[in-house]
Amino acid sequence: MTATPDLLSPVRFRCGAVARNRVCLAPLTNLQSEDDGALSDDERRWLERRAEGGFGLVETCAAHVSADGKGFDGQLGIWSDHHLPGLRALAGGLARAGALGVVQLYHGGVRSPSRLTGRQPWSASAFHEDRPGFEPPRAATEADIAAVIEAFVAAAVRAQAAGFQGVELHAAHGYLLSQFLSRTINVRGDGWGGDFAGRARLLRTIAGRVRAATPAPFVLGVRISPEDFGFARGLDLDESLALAGWLADDGIDYLHLSLWEAARNTAKRPEEHAVPLFRRALPDDVRIVVAGNLWTRAEADAQLARGADLVALGRAAILNPDWPTQVADPGFLPERGPLTPDELRARAIGEKFVVYLRRFKNMVRDA
Protein backbone atom coordinates (compact mmCIF):
# COMPACT_ATOMS: atom_id res chain seq x y z
CA MET A 1 0.00 0.00 0.00
CA THR A 2 1.28 3.47 -0.93
CA ALA A 3 1.98 5.69 2.06
CA THR A 4 -0.34 8.65 2.54
CA PRO A 5 1.50 11.82 1.48
CA ASP A 6 1.93 14.70 3.88
CA LEU A 7 -0.51 17.51 3.16
CA LEU A 8 2.28 20.11 3.18
CA SER A 9 4.70 18.14 1.00
CA PRO A 10 5.34 19.10 -2.65
CA VAL A 11 3.47 17.33 -5.45
CA ARG A 12 4.69 16.83 -9.01
CA PHE A 13 2.34 16.66 -11.98
CA ARG A 14 2.95 14.40 -14.94
CA CYS A 15 3.85 17.45 -17.11
CA GLY A 16 6.73 18.22 -14.72
CA ALA A 17 5.27 21.19 -12.84
CA VAL A 18 5.51 21.10 -9.04
CA ALA A 19 3.21 22.62 -6.43
CA ARG A 20 4.86 23.41 -3.10
CA ASN A 21 2.10 21.66 -1.15
CA ARG A 22 -1.18 19.83 -1.66
CA VAL A 23 -3.54 22.66 -0.67
CA CYS A 24 -5.42 24.44 -3.47
CA LEU A 25 -7.58 27.51 -3.56
CA ALA A 26 -10.77 26.30 -5.20
CA PRO A 27 -12.12 28.29 -8.17
CA LEU A 28 -14.63 30.65 -6.55
CA THR A 29 -17.14 33.01 -8.09
CA ASN A 30 -16.53 36.46 -6.60
CA LEU A 31 -18.08 39.01 -9.01
CA GLN A 32 -15.09 41.35 -8.75
CA SER A 33 -13.97 41.65 -12.39
CA GLU A 34 -14.85 44.57 -14.65
CA ASP A 35 -17.89 44.48 -16.95
CA ASP A 36 -15.69 43.72 -19.96
CA GLY A 37 -14.03 40.77 -18.19
CA ALA A 38 -10.83 42.61 -17.30
CA LEU A 39 -9.30 41.65 -13.97
CA SER A 40 -9.85 44.21 -11.22
CA ASP A 41 -7.39 45.16 -8.50
CA ASP A 42 -9.76 43.66 -5.90
CA GLU A 43 -9.84 40.29 -7.64
CA ARG A 44 -6.08 40.27 -8.14
CA ARG A 45 -5.51 41.07 -4.48
CA TRP A 46 -7.94 38.39 -3.26
CA LEU A 47 -6.05 35.72 -5.20
CA GLU A 48 -2.55 36.99 -4.47
CA ARG A 49 -3.34 37.11 -0.74
CA ARG A 50 -4.08 33.35 -0.76
CA ALA A 51 -0.82 32.69 -2.60
CA GLU A 52 0.97 34.74 0.04
CA GLY A 53 -0.85 32.68 2.67
CA GLY A 54 0.82 29.50 1.45
CA PHE A 55 -1.65 27.85 -0.94
CA GLY A 56 0.28 25.60 -3.28
CA LEU A 57 -2.07 25.90 -6.24
CA VAL A 58 -4.28 28.96 -6.70
CA GLU A 59 -7.18 28.87 -9.18
CA THR A 60 -9.03 31.83 -10.60
CA CYS A 61 -12.80 31.91 -10.74
CA ALA A 62 -14.39 30.43 -13.85
CA ALA A 63 -13.10 32.64 -16.69
CA HIS A 64 -15.35 32.74 -19.75
CA VAL A 65 -13.62 31.80 -22.98
CA SER A 66 -15.99 33.67 -25.30
CA ALA A 67 -18.30 36.64 -25.01
CA ASP A 68 -21.37 34.43 -25.39
CA GLY A 69 -20.23 32.19 -22.51
CA LYS A 70 -20.46 34.73 -19.70
CA GLY A 71 -22.58 33.51 -16.79
CA PHE A 72 -22.16 36.06 -13.99
CA ASP A 73 -21.87 39.76 -13.40
CA GLY A 74 -18.28 40.70 -12.69
CA GLN A 75 -16.92 37.51 -14.25
CA LEU A 76 -13.30 37.24 -15.35
CA GLY A 77 -12.76 37.01 -19.09
CA ILE A 78 -9.98 35.38 -21.10
CA TRP A 79 -11.41 35.64 -24.62
CA SER A 80 -9.50 38.70 -25.82
CA ASP A 81 -6.00 40.09 -25.71
CA HIS A 82 -7.40 43.15 -23.95
CA HIS A 83 -7.61 40.87 -20.88
CA LEU A 84 -3.88 40.18 -20.99
CA PRO A 85 -2.56 43.10 -18.88
CA GLY A 86 -4.59 42.06 -15.85
CA LEU A 87 -3.90 38.38 -16.39
CA ARG A 88 -0.16 39.03 -16.63
CA ALA A 89 -0.21 41.06 -13.42
CA LEU A 90 -2.05 38.28 -11.59
CA ALA A 91 0.14 35.48 -12.95
CA GLY A 92 3.24 37.39 -11.89
CA GLY A 93 1.90 38.04 -8.41
CA LEU A 94 0.99 34.40 -7.85
CA ALA A 95 4.38 33.21 -9.07
CA ARG A 96 6.26 35.69 -6.89
CA ALA A 97 4.34 34.41 -3.87
CA GLY A 98 5.36 30.83 -4.71
CA ALA A 99 2.00 29.47 -5.87
CA LEU A 100 1.23 27.54 -9.02
CA GLY A 101 -1.32 29.74 -10.84
CA VAL A 102 -4.15 28.09 -12.78
CA VAL A 103 -6.99 29.68 -14.77
CA GLN A 104 -10.30 27.84 -14.78
CA LEU A 105 -11.75 27.95 -18.31
CA TYR A 106 -15.50 27.99 -18.74
CA HIS A 107 -18.50 28.50 -20.98
CA GLY A 108 -21.92 28.73 -19.34
CA GLY A 109 -24.01 27.27 -22.15
CA VAL A 110 -27.63 27.45 -21.08
CA ARG A 111 -26.41 29.25 -17.96
CA SER A 112 -25.16 32.25 -19.96
CA PRO A 113 -28.20 34.57 -19.82
CA SER A 114 -29.08 36.94 -22.62
CA ARG A 115 -28.99 39.92 -20.23
CA LEU A 116 -25.20 39.41 -20.09
CA THR A 117 -24.46 38.20 -23.60
CA GLY A 118 -27.13 39.92 -25.70
CA ARG A 119 -28.07 36.66 -27.39
CA GLN A 120 -30.07 33.51 -26.79
CA PRO A 121 -28.15 30.92 -24.78
CA TRP A 122 -27.21 27.68 -26.48
CA SER A 123 -26.54 24.18 -25.23
CA ALA A 124 -26.08 20.64 -26.45
CA SER A 125 -29.80 20.45 -27.23
CA ALA A 126 -32.86 22.65 -27.00
CA PHE A 127 -34.84 21.98 -23.81
CA HIS A 128 -37.10 23.61 -21.25
CA GLU A 129 -37.12 23.67 -17.45
CA ASP A 130 -40.07 24.82 -15.38
CA ARG A 131 -38.30 27.27 -13.11
CA PRO A 132 -38.38 31.06 -12.77
CA GLY A 133 -36.17 32.96 -15.17
CA PHE A 134 -35.24 29.96 -17.31
CA GLU A 135 -34.29 30.88 -20.89
CA PRO A 136 -34.75 27.94 -23.25
CA PRO A 137 -31.53 27.41 -25.18
CA ARG A 138 -31.18 26.65 -28.84
CA ALA A 139 -29.34 23.51 -29.88
CA ALA A 140 -25.67 23.97 -30.77
CA THR A 141 -24.82 24.02 -34.44
CA GLU A 142 -21.65 22.53 -35.86
CA ALA A 143 -20.36 26.10 -36.16
CA ASP A 144 -21.04 26.72 -32.46
CA ILE A 145 -19.15 23.59 -31.49
CA ALA A 146 -16.18 24.38 -33.74
CA ALA A 147 -16.05 27.95 -32.40
CA VAL A 148 -16.17 26.95 -28.74
CA ILE A 149 -13.39 24.39 -29.22
CA GLU A 150 -11.21 27.09 -30.73
CA ALA A 151 -12.19 29.48 -27.92
CA PHE A 152 -11.07 27.07 -25.20
CA VAL A 153 -7.79 26.39 -26.98
CA ALA A 154 -7.12 30.10 -27.57
CA ALA A 155 -7.91 30.85 -23.91
CA ALA A 156 -5.44 28.20 -22.74
CA VAL A 157 -2.74 29.58 -25.03
CA ARG A 158 -3.53 33.08 -23.75
CA ALA A 159 -3.23 31.88 -20.14
CA GLN A 160 0.18 30.39 -20.84
CA ALA A 161 1.29 33.55 -22.63
CA ALA A 162 0.19 35.58 -19.60
CA GLY A 163 2.47 33.52 -17.37
CA PHE A 164 0.06 31.12 -15.71
CA GLN A 165 1.28 27.61 -15.04
CA GLY A 166 -1.89 25.78 -15.98
CA VAL A 167 -5.57 25.75 -16.86
CA GLU A 168 -8.54 23.74 -15.66
CA LEU A 169 -11.48 22.90 -17.94
CA HIS A 170 -14.72 23.43 -16.03
CA ALA A 171 -16.87 20.42 -16.91
CA ALA A 172 -18.83 20.42 -13.62
CA HIS A 173 -21.85 22.14 -12.08
CA GLY A 174 -24.10 22.04 -15.13
CA TYR A 175 -22.17 24.45 -17.35
CA LEU A 176 -21.64 23.86 -21.07
CA LEU A 177 -19.15 20.97 -20.95
CA SER A 178 -21.26 19.29 -18.27
CA GLN A 179 -24.38 19.86 -20.38
CA PHE A 180 -22.80 17.92 -23.24
CA LEU A 181 -21.92 15.07 -20.85
CA SER A 182 -25.50 14.88 -19.57
CA ARG A 183 -27.71 12.06 -20.82
CA THR A 184 -30.84 14.15 -20.09
CA ILE A 185 -29.71 17.50 -21.56
CA ASN A 186 -27.72 16.16 -24.52
CA VAL A 187 -30.18 14.29 -26.70
CA ARG A 188 -28.35 14.96 -29.96
CA GLY A 189 -28.39 12.32 -32.65
CA ASP A 190 -25.07 13.24 -34.25
CA GLY A 191 -21.48 12.53 -33.24
CA TRP A 192 -21.63 15.05 -30.38
CA GLY A 193 -24.36 13.11 -28.55
CA GLY A 194 -25.96 9.70 -28.38
CA ASP A 195 -23.89 7.24 -26.38
CA PHE A 196 -21.47 8.42 -23.71
CA ALA A 197 -18.53 8.43 -26.08
CA GLY A 198 -20.43 10.94 -28.21
CA ARG A 199 -21.50 13.04 -25.23
CA ALA A 200 -17.90 13.13 -23.97
CA ARG A 201 -16.50 14.04 -27.38
CA LEU A 202 -16.58 17.83 -26.87
CA LEU A 203 -14.71 17.74 -23.57
CA ARG A 204 -12.20 15.18 -24.85
CA THR A 205 -11.58 17.12 -28.05
CA ILE A 206 -10.93 20.32 -26.09
CA ALA A 207 -8.66 18.52 -23.61
CA GLY A 208 -6.61 16.94 -26.38
CA ARG A 209 -6.35 20.18 -28.33
CA VAL A 210 -5.33 22.18 -25.24
CA ARG A 211 -2.72 19.58 -24.33
CA ALA A 212 -1.23 19.77 -27.82
CA ALA A 213 -1.23 23.59 -27.82
CA THR A 214 0.40 24.15 -24.42
CA PRO A 215 3.87 22.64 -24.08
CA ALA A 216 5.06 21.18 -20.77
CA PRO A 217 5.44 22.00 -17.97
CA PHE A 218 1.97 23.53 -18.37
CA VAL A 219 -0.65 21.86 -16.16
CA LEU A 220 -3.95 20.69 -17.63
CA GLY A 221 -6.76 19.79 -15.25
CA VAL A 222 -10.45 18.99 -15.63
CA ARG A 223 -13.15 19.55 -13.02
CA ILE A 224 -16.19 17.27 -13.06
CA SER A 225 -19.31 16.56 -11.05
CA PRO A 226 -19.17 12.75 -10.73
CA GLU A 227 -22.92 12.47 -10.11
CA ASP A 228 -26.04 14.62 -10.17
CA PHE A 229 -26.06 17.60 -7.82
CA GLY A 230 -27.82 20.93 -8.27
CA PHE A 231 -27.57 22.10 -11.89
CA ALA A 232 -25.36 19.12 -12.74
CA ARG A 233 -27.81 16.47 -13.86
CA GLY A 234 -27.99 13.52 -16.18
CA LEU A 235 -24.62 12.31 -14.88
CA ASP A 236 -23.82 8.71 -14.00
CA LEU A 237 -20.99 7.63 -11.69
CA ASP A 238 -19.86 4.77 -13.90
CA GLU A 239 -19.81 7.02 -16.95
CA SER A 240 -17.75 9.53 -14.98
CA LEU A 241 -15.28 6.79 -14.07
CA ALA A 242 -14.95 5.86 -17.73
CA LEU A 243 -14.48 9.53 -18.57
CA ALA A 244 -11.61 9.76 -16.09
CA GLY A 245 -9.67 7.08 -17.93
CA TRP A 246 -10.35 8.67 -21.30
CA LEU A 247 -9.17 12.07 -20.09
CA ALA A 248 -5.98 10.51 -18.78
CA ASP A 249 -5.38 9.21 -22.31
CA ASP A 250 -6.03 12.74 -23.59
CA GLY A 251 -3.15 14.07 -21.50
CA ILE A 252 -4.64 15.67 -18.41
CA ASP A 253 -2.46 16.16 -15.34
CA TYR A 254 -5.21 16.11 -12.75
CA LEU A 255 -8.91 15.42 -12.26
CA HIS A 256 -10.76 17.73 -9.89
CA LEU A 257 -13.72 16.06 -8.17
CA SER A 258 -16.36 18.52 -7.02
CA LEU A 259 -18.07 16.54 -4.29
CA TRP A 260 -19.83 19.34 -2.31
CA GLU A 261 -19.63 17.13 0.81
CA ALA A 262 -16.33 15.30 0.57
CA ALA A 263 -17.04 13.20 3.66
CA ARG A 264 -20.01 11.46 2.01
CA ASN A 265 -19.97 8.31 -0.07
CA THR A 266 -21.40 8.21 -3.57
CA ALA A 267 -25.13 8.17 -4.23
CA LYS A 268 -24.97 5.29 -6.70
CA ARG A 269 -22.76 3.15 -4.46
CA PRO A 270 -23.52 4.27 -0.89
CA GLU A 271 -20.96 1.86 0.51
CA GLU A 272 -18.10 3.41 -1.52
CA HIS A 273 -16.40 6.79 -1.57
CA ALA A 274 -15.64 8.52 -4.86
CA VAL A 275 -11.92 8.99 -4.31
CA PRO A 276 -10.86 5.30 -4.20
CA LEU A 277 -13.09 4.62 -7.22
CA PHE A 278 -11.44 7.34 -9.27
CA ARG A 279 -8.00 6.43 -7.99
CA ARG A 280 -8.46 2.95 -9.46
CA ALA A 281 -9.75 4.43 -12.72
CA LEU A 282 -6.73 6.69 -13.24
CA PRO A 283 -3.03 6.07 -13.83
CA ASP A 284 -0.87 6.73 -10.80
CA ASP A 285 0.63 9.86 -12.33
CA VAL A 286 -2.72 11.62 -12.86
CA ARG A 287 -3.42 13.56 -9.71
CA ILE A 288 -6.80 13.76 -7.97
CA VAL A 289 -7.99 17.03 -6.43
CA VAL A 290 -10.94 16.85 -4.03
CA ALA A 291 -13.25 19.70 -3.04
CA GLY A 292 -16.29 19.60 -0.80
CA ASN A 293 -16.74 21.45 2.51
CA LEU A 294 -13.26 20.79 3.85
CA TRP A 295 -12.19 22.89 6.85
CA THR A 296 -9.68 21.07 9.06
CA ARG A 297 -6.35 19.31 8.70
CA ALA A 298 -8.00 16.05 9.73
CA GLU A 299 -10.63 16.38 7.00
CA ALA A 300 -7.96 17.12 4.40
CA ASP A 301 -5.79 14.23 5.57
CA ALA A 302 -8.77 11.88 5.34
CA GLN A 303 -9.07 12.64 1.61
CA LEU A 304 -5.36 12.00 1.06
CA ALA A 305 -5.68 8.71 2.92
CA ARG A 306 -8.45 7.71 0.50
CA GLY A 307 -6.16 8.32 -2.46
CA ALA A 308 -6.48 12.02 -3.29
CA ASP A 309 -3.30 13.97 -4.05
CA LEU A 310 -4.55 17.49 -3.30
CA VAL A 311 -7.49 19.17 -1.58
CA ALA A 312 -9.25 22.36 -2.68
CA LEU A 313 -10.66 24.78 -0.12
CA GLY A 314 -13.48 27.20 -0.75
CA ARG A 315 -15.17 28.83 2.23
CA ALA A 316 -12.31 27.84 4.51
CA ALA A 317 -9.93 29.73 2.22
CA ILE A 318 -12.15 32.81 2.15
CA LEU A 319 -12.17 33.07 5.93
CA ASN A 320 -8.63 31.73 6.51
CA PRO A 321 -6.22 33.16 3.91
CA ASP A 322 -3.22 31.67 5.76
CA TRP A 323 -4.76 28.21 6.16
CA PRO A 324 -1.79 26.26 4.69
CA THR A 325 0.62 28.06 7.00
CA GLN A 326 -1.57 27.90 10.08
CA VAL A 327 -2.52 24.26 9.64
CA ALA A 328 1.02 23.19 10.51
CA ASP A 329 0.08 24.05 14.10
CA PRO A 330 -1.73 21.02 15.63
CA GLY A 331 -3.85 23.39 17.70
CA PHE A 332 -5.10 25.43 14.74
CA LEU A 333 -8.87 25.86 14.60
CA PRO A 334 -10.05 27.52 11.39
CA GLU A 335 -12.32 30.53 11.48
CA ARG A 336 -15.80 29.44 10.34
CA GLY A 337 -17.58 32.79 10.41
CA PRO A 338 -19.66 34.73 10.12
CA LEU A 339 -17.34 37.74 9.96
CA THR A 340 -18.08 41.43 9.69
CA PRO A 341 -17.49 43.25 6.41
CA ASP A 342 -14.42 44.91 7.94
CA GLU A 343 -13.02 41.53 9.00
CA LEU A 344 -13.57 40.23 5.47
CA ARG A 345 -11.92 43.28 3.94
CA ALA A 346 -8.92 42.64 6.17
CA ARG A 347 -8.74 39.24 4.46
CA ALA A 348 -8.51 40.91 1.02
CA ILE A 349 -12.20 40.48 0.21
CA GLY A 350 -13.38 43.39 -1.94
CA GLU A 351 -16.72 45.14 -1.54
CA LYS A 352 -18.46 43.32 -4.40
CA PHE A 353 -17.31 39.99 -2.97
CA VAL A 354 -18.56 40.96 0.48
CA VAL A 355 -21.99 41.73 -0.98
CA TYR A 356 -22.01 38.40 -2.84
CA LEU A 357 -21.06 36.46 0.29
CA ARG A 358 -24.21 37.74 1.99
CA ARG A 359 -26.09 35.16 -0.10
CA PHE A 360 -24.45 32.37 1.89
CA LYS A 361 -25.14 31.26 5.42
CA ASN A 362 -22.57 32.03 8.14
CA MET A 363 -20.29 34.14 5.97
CA VAL A 364 -21.19 37.77 6.75
CA ARG A 365 -22.58 39.42 9.86
CA ASP A 366 -23.19 43.07 10.53
CA ALA A 367 -20.89 44.70 13.06
Q: How far is CA 131 from CA 38, 114, 128, 175, in A?
A: 32, 16, 9, 17
User: Nearest to residue 63, comparing CAs of 45, 76, 47?
Assistant: 76
Q: Which of 106, 175, 254, 356 is catalytic?
A: 175
How far is Cα 290 from Cα 280, in angstroms, rounded to an integer? 15
| Adjacent-strand bridge partners of 224 | 171, 257
Q: How far is CA 324 from CA 23, 44, 168, 316, in A?
A: 7, 19, 22, 11
Cβ neighbors of 150 (< 8 A, separation 6 or more) are none
SS3 string, 143-164, reads HHHHHHHHHHHHHHHHHHHHCC
SS3 string, 59-123, reads EEEEEECCHHHCCCCCCCECCCHHHHHHHHHHHHHHHHCCCEEEEEEECCHHHCCHHHHCCCCEE
How far is Cα 273 from Cα 241, in angstroms, rounded to an integer? 13
Amino acid symbol at 32: Q
How far is Cα 310 from Cα 300, in angstroms, rounded to an integer? 8
- How far does CA 210 lie from the centroid of its chain? 16
Pairing of the two strands 18-19 and 11-12: antiparallel
Q: Which runs of E-coded beta strand occur in the chain?
A: 11-12, 18-19, 23-25, 57-64, 100-106, 122-123, 138-139, 166-171, 219-224, 254-258, 287-291, 310-313
| Adjacent-strand bridge partners of 171 | 224
In the annotation, is 175 catalytic? Answer: yes
Q: So which residues are the catalytic ones?
A: 175
